Structures are given as structure tokens and as C-alpha cells.
């Protein structure tokens, strides 16, 4: 019997992944770049137990048993067992496994829960099966962006060239401590309506958007290089401008999709206006927004600007009375009292809460298992 438990982080892309060249292998049409967020505030946690007494593979997600037959899950399991038989613990890889995974944050629209989940699953399985070396390309087969959650700091997912997908993997650009001032505010929008899933939206974009091809060929390659340089040089304004432009272009491509895939709502757009107004008032770019396939905003900013921006967010989006208590979560925030004038009418209760976090490390092993010794969830 062997049991391992790990936590793995969420990552938020600043150059977006949108469009696959191979649906089965999950090979992207372009490189992407993300920051890995601290597991202190948001993480997936997974226990994998391998035992001779188990008669079948089983999985529990957020307390509920799910089908192990999920094809993406099967691909990850199969890939790792094969790796283990070649270069790891072939005996354990032959055993059946019980998997139990939980997220400590809502699996809501656009919070990258599948990235953290698959990164954690693959990282933990690799430990159990004694597989060393890169596992990002295995995580990729669970959920494309999961490959970026295998590393801490700022991470690049290389699209790769091989048909096999072996070279479509993630590498670290800089570690988490390279840019210690970087902070992230995640603005969780209320009533996030279930829209098009990112998998099907992406597929439809590839099939129908004439702008997607242009983005991939002509825009993203230049942006990836400029973004890498901005990160290496800790050039916040360049980093922020490219981040915003790439988020906007990704959503533009979604809108150019037929029928359109719409992920931003009026609250998202009010956040966008607020950020541009604040930057204009400061006379320099102090904050960047980025949005995944959902209305929740992710703001990148430096530590020194958190008090003012947090206060502005609370001013424009005052919480409902019952949500005032824990409106700010994660790293403690002391909102500023003096604020620049902003021309944006307040909208009560439109943002449910704000998570204040920072760039963090990749997956790591922990001690408290989610499965008891009999292989059942605790």
C-alpha cells in the first residue's frame, strides 16, 4: 500500500491559450504564459492511494464519487503507468488506485479549477508511481492549461512541433521569488451564469473565427517574446499592457466565433473601465485586468498599490451587508482612505468577494491525506 497527498496551484494566463491543433492530445495553436498563484489561498489537494486490495480505479472529486472512465483522466492514468513501467515503480503502477481530490475554492466560471486539479492529480500519481522528470506534458492531457500549474513562478507553455505532443510542455520563465512585489486580486463576480464551456468555445473558435488565425500567426508570437522580457526585467507597465491587450484580444476572438462565445458581462466591463480610469488618473499603468472563460476578473498589480485598488473596488462594487465581513480574503488588505476620483456608478453586491494573493510555488507534497487507511474518503 502506498499513499501520497499533494497540493497544486491555480495559474492565471497573461498570454492566453485559445485553440487546439489536436483535440485528442490537447496540443495548442500557440504558446501561452501564466503566473502560478500561491497555494496558501487557492489550491487543489489530491490523495492517491495504490493498494493490492483495490479491485478497480476509483475517483472522488469534491466529496462525490465520479466516473473513472472520463477520457482525459484515463489518458493521464495510462500515460503515467506507461512511464512508470519504463522508468519508475512498475509494481505500484500495476496496482489499482483510489484518488480523492478537493479544491479549496469554488469551481466557478473562470477560476481555473481543472488546471489545478489535473496538475495535482498528475503530480501526485507521478510520486506514487515513482516517475521522475517532466510531468507537464501528462498534465496537459488532463486539461491544457494544467501543464502550467506544474511549476511555480511565471511559466511558459510551449506549443511544440512534434505530432506526438512530447515537446508541448511547460517550462519556468522565472521562479516565484523573482518578482516578489507582484500581487493578484481575484474579483469573484456574483451570478456568474453558466455559459459556453471553454472546451467547446475554443473548438468553435477554431472552426469559425477568421480572426483567430491572424491572432495566432501574427499577434501571439510577438507578445510571448515581449511578455517574457517584461517578466525577466520586472517591467510592470509593459507586462500590464500586454496582459490587458491579450485578454481583450482573446475575448474579441470569442465574440468573432459563430455563434459567439461570450464570457464577459456588464460587471466585467465595469471592472475594465475602472482599471483604465484608475491607470489614467495615475498617469501610468498601475493595474492590469485579465479574464479567462468567465466573468471573474484577475487583477495584476504591485504590492504598494493593493490598498488603493482594493478600496476602489469596494467603492465601486460595495458588498451586500451580509458579505461585508469577508469581502477581502487571502492576504490581509488595509484599504486606503484617500482615493482618486473615478467616474463609475457604484453597483452593490455585484462582486461577491475578492481574493488577495501572490505568485507562488508549484505543487508540493503534504501530510494530511484525504483517504483513510481503508481507501475511502475521510
Stretch that binds its own copies, among 3-11, 128-136, 237-245, 321-329 (CB under 8 A): 237-245
Angstrom distance (rounded) from CA 280 to CA 298: 19
Using CB under 8 A, which of 74, 172, 190, 248 touches its own copies? 248
What's the grid cell of residue 111?
477560476
102 binds its own copies (CB under 8 A): no
Q: Hunting for cell 472529486 — which residue is that? A: 61
Using CB under 8 A, which of 130, 221, 260, 349 touches its own copies? 260
SS3 category, 298: strand
Nearer to its own copies, 19 or 88 (CB): 19
Q: At what angle do helices 113-128 and 71-87 cross, to 10 degrees?
A: 30
Using CB under 8 A, which of 269, 284, 340, 373 touches its own copies? 269
Nearer to its own copies, 214 or 378 (CB): 214
Angstrom distance (rounded) from CA 135 to CA 153: 17
Smallest gap from Cβ 161 to its own copies, in A, equals: 24
Rounded-to-5 percentages of helix, strand, coil across the chain: 35, 25, 40
Using CB under 8 A, which of 68, 91, 219, 342 touches its own copies? 219
309 binds its own copies (CB under 8 A): no
Q: Are 94 and 130 in contact (CB under 8 A)?
A: no
226 binds its own copies (CB under 8 A): no
| Residues 6 or more apart whose Cβ sits within 8 Å of residue 119 | 8, 9, 44, 139, 142, 146, 147, 149, 150, 363
Q: Which of residues 159-218 bind its own copies (CB under 8 A)?
A: 210-211, 214-215, 218
Q: Are 148 and 173 in contact (CB under 8 A)?
A: no
Using CB under 8 A, which of 252, 331, 339, 342 touches its own copies? 252
Closest among 174, 179, 76 to 129, alpha carbons compared: 76
What letters, b where the CB count within 10 A reaches 16 and e where it falls short, cover 322-351?
eeeeebbbbbebebbeebeebeeeeeeebb
Helices (H) and strands (E) in the chain, counts: 10, 17
Smallest gap from Cβ 31 to its own copies, in A, equals: 17
Stretch that binds its own copies, among 107-115, 180-188, 254-262, 368-376 (CB under 8 A): 254-262
Smallest gap from Cβ 353 to its own copies, in A, equals: 21
Smallest gap from Cβ 195 to its own copies, in A, equals: 9
331 binds its own copies (CB under 8 A): no
Enumerate the β-bridge partners of residue 300: 184, 288
Angstrom distance (rounded) from CA 181 to CA 234: 10
Nearer to its own copies, 75 or 208 (CB): 208
Q: Are 251 and 263 in contact (CB under 8 A)?
A: yes
Stretch that binds its own copies, among 69-77, 97-105, 248-256, 317-325 (CB under 8 A): 248-256
> DSSP character for 160?
-
262 binds its own copies (CB under 8 A): yes
266 binds its own copies (CB under 8 A): yes
Using CB under 8 A, which of 7, 253, 274, 288 touches its own copies? 253
283 binds its own copies (CB under 8 A): no
Angstrom distance (rounded) from CA 170 to CA 7: 18
Nearer to its own copies, 138 or 240 (CB): 240
Nearer to its own copies, 86 or 214 (CB): 214
Interacting residue ranges for its own copies, rule: CB under 8 A: 210-211, 214-215, 218-219, 241, 244-245, 248-249, 251-253, 255-260, 262, 265-266, 269, 272, 276
Amino acid at each position: 500500500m502506498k499513499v501520497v497527498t499533494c497540493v497544486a496551484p491555480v495559474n492565471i494566463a497573461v498570454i492566453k491559450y485559445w485553440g487546439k491543433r489536436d483535440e485528442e492530445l490537447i496540443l495548442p495553436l500557440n504558446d501561452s504564459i501564466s503566473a502560478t498563484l500561491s497555494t496558501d489561498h487557492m489550491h487543489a489537494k489530491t490523495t492517491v492511494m495504490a493498494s493490492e486490495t483495490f479491485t478497480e480505479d476509483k475517483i472522488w472529486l469534491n466529496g462525490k464519487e465520479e466516473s473513472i472512465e472520463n477520457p482525459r483522466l484515463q489518458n493521464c492514468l495510462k500515460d503515467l503507468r506507461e512511464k512508470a513501467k519504463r522508468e519508475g515503480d512498475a509494481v505500484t503502477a500495476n496496482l489499482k488506485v483510489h484518488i480523492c481530490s478537493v479544491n479549496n475554492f469554488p469551481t466557478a466560471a473562470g477560476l481555473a479549477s481543472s488546471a489545478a486539479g489535473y496538475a495535482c492529480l498528475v503530480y501526485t500519481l507521478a510520486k506514487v508511481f515513482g516517475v521522475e522528470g517532466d510531468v507537464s506534458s501528462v498534465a496537459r492531457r488532463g486539461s491544457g492549461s494544467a501543464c502550467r500549474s506544474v511549476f511555480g513562478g511565471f511559466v511558459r507553455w510551449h506549443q511544440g512541433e512534434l505530432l506526438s505532443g512530447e515537446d508541448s510542455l511547460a517550462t519556468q520563465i522565472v521562479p516565484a521569488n523573482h518578482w516578489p512585489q507582484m500581487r493578484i486580486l481575484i474579483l469573484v463576480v456574483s451570478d456568474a451564469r453558466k455559459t459556453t464551456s471553454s472546451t467547446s468555445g475554443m473548438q468553435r473558435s477554431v472552426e469559425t473565427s477568421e480572426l483567430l488565425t491572424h491572432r495566432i500567426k501574427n499577434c501571439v508570437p510577438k507578445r510571448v517574446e515581449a511578455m517574457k522580457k517584461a517578466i525577466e526585467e520586472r517591467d510592470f507597465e509593459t507586462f500590464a499592457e500586454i496582459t490587458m491587450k491579450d485578454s481583450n484580444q482573446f475575448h474579441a476572438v470569442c465574440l468573432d466565433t459563430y455563434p459567439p462565445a461570450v464570457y464577459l458581462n456588464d460587471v466585467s466591463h465595469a471592472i475594465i473601465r475602472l482599471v483604465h480610469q484608475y491607470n489614467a488618473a495615475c498617469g501610468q499603468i498601475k493595474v492590469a485586468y485579465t479574464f479567462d472563460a468567465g466573468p471573474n476578473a484577475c487583477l495584476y498589480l504591485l504590492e504598494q498599490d493593493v490598498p488603493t485598488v482594493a478600496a476602489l473596488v469596494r467603492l465601486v462594487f460595495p458588498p451586500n451587508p451580509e458579505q461585508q465581513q469577508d469581502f477581502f480574503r487571502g492576504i490581509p488588505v488595509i484599504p486606503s482612505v484617500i482615493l482618486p476620483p473615478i467616474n463609475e456608478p457604484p453597483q452593490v453586491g455585484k462582486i461577491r468577494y475578492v481574493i488577495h494573493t501572490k505568485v507562488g510555488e508549484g505543487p508540493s507534497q503534504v501530510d494530511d491525506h484525504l483517504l483513510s487507511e481503508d481507501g475511502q474518503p475521510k
